[in-house]
């Protein structure tokens, strides 16, 4: 029988999730990739106020120091905003703008991003998309536009349902129908990108890079709450662990109810890794007990 994780309500997590995390903790060379909003941080009306739950942040801090793990945050937010809000620990991969921005926080906390720039045609198209979304936002109360390096996003979470629905419909019928754009529908948001980037493509690339560096296969844990996370969850193998946060339709094999439950899941994983490490230290070998 598995020992309970201290401080975790055993009724909060589905037993199948617990078993999957226990099995994952027994493996080495893992990639832990997590969405931010609605997964590590509760959804809030003002995105600038989002912060990871303390329990989740503590788990990430511990996981970031493990030599057999790679830790990644994958978000639709611009990489700079994600870093400011999530304050990721050292050695964390940062994938922003649904994969258009990729980089890593080094051991001293400095962010190193791969080169990214729009070509002139993409930059011009982004200006058109941004202008049209801005006009839609002005015509609908409590709707606003977020500016990203390769996209613009129309947010409707603060608007009444009927106004939000009308604004999103206008965005899909207008700028989302332009040639060369890549619309992404999320929870109360329509994002229109001018480059083809998805969390699924980003996770696939990151996995390949990690496996090449480690010289072998890795097991992946991916968790997210949004429609955009489905592209990443769909890339997972049977040996991986995909977790949907919330109750929306998903391809994931496992689910938790909300960010506090996801924080509890991370604590289970951390606890099981500690137990594995303690067993390894006390196992018969070259210690005094064998002399």
Q: What is the pLDDT of residues 20-69, one digit of tens each?
A: 999 999 998 999 999 999 999 999 888 899 999 999 999 999 999 999 99
CATH number for the domain whose boundaries are 120-193: 3.30.70
Confidence of residue 5 (pLDDT cuts 50, 70, 90): low
Q: Is 236 left (phi over 0), alpha (psi -120 to 50) or beta?
A: beta
pLDDT of 8 higher than 70? no
pLDDT of 3 higher than 60? no
Q: Kindly state the average pLDDT of the residues 118-142.
A: 97
Range(s) for CATH 3.30.70 in the chain?
120-193
Q: Kindly state the average pLDDT of the residues 255-270.
A: 96
Q: With 0-12 CB in 10 A as exposed, 13-18 as middle and 19+ as buried, what is 80?
A: middle
In the CATH scheme, what is the homologous superfamily, with its name and number, of domain 15-116+198-282? HAD superfamily/HAD-like (3.40.50.1000)
Q: What is the pLDDT of residue 2?
A: 52
pLDDT of 110 higher than 50? yes
Q: Are 233 and 242 in contact (CB under 8 A)?
A: yes
Cα–Cα distance list, 246 to 136, 150, 256, 258 (Å): 29, 28, 6, 6
Q: Are 223 and 59 in contact (CB under 8 A)?
A: no
Q: By three-state DSSP, how is residue 147 classified?
A: strand
Range(s) for CATH 3.40.50.1000 in the chain?
15-116+198-282
Confidence of residue 99 (pLDDT cuts 50, 70, 90): very high
Q: Kindly state the average pLDDT of the residues 190-216.
A: 95
Q: Kindly state the average pLDDT of the residues 115-138.
A: 96
Instruction: Point out the least confidently predicted range of 65-74, 98-107, 156-165, 275-284.
Output: 275-284
Q: Are 225 and 248 in contact (CB under 8 A)?
A: yes
Which is more confidently placed, 107 or 224? Answer: 224
pTM equals 0.86
Backbone angles phi, psi at 51, to 5 degrees: -145, 145
pLDDT in tens, 182-196: 999 988 999 999 999
């Amino acid at each position: 029988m598995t020992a309970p994780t201290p401080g975790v309500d055993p009724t909060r997590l589905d037993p199948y999730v617990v078993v999957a995390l226990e099995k994952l903790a027994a493996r080495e060379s893992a990639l832990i990739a997590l969405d931010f909003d609605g997964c590590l941080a509760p959804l809030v009306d003002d995105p600038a106020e989002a912060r990871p739950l303390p329990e989740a942040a503590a788990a990430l801090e511990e996981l970031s120091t493990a030599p057999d793990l790679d830790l990644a945050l994958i978000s639709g937010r611009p990489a700079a905003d994600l870093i400011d809000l999530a304050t990721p620990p050292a050695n964390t991969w940062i994938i922003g703008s649904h994969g258009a921005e990729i980089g890593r926080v080094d051991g001293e906390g400095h962010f190193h991003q791969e080169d990214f720039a729009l070509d002139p045609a993409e930059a011009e198209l982004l200006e058109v998309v941004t202008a049209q979304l801005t006009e839609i936002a002005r015509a609908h109360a409590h709707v606003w536009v977020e500016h990203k390096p390769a996209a613009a996003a129309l947010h409707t979470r603060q608007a009444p349902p009927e106004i939000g629905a009308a604004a999103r419909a206008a965005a899909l019928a207008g700028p989302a129908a332009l040639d060369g754009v890549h619309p992404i529908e999320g929870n109360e948001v329509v994002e229109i990108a001018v480059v083809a980037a998805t969390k699924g493509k980003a996770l696939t690339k990151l996995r390949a890079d990690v496996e090449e560096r480690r010289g072998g296969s890795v097991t992946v844990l991916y968790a997210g709450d949004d429609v955009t996370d489905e592209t990443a969850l769909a890339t997972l193998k049977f040996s991986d662990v995909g977790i949907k946060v919330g109750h929306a339709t998903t391809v994931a094999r496992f689910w938790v109810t909300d960010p506090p439950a996801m924080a509890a899941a991370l604590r289970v994983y951390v606890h099981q890794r500690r137990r594995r490490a303690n067993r390894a230290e006390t196992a018969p070998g070259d210690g005094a007990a064998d002399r």
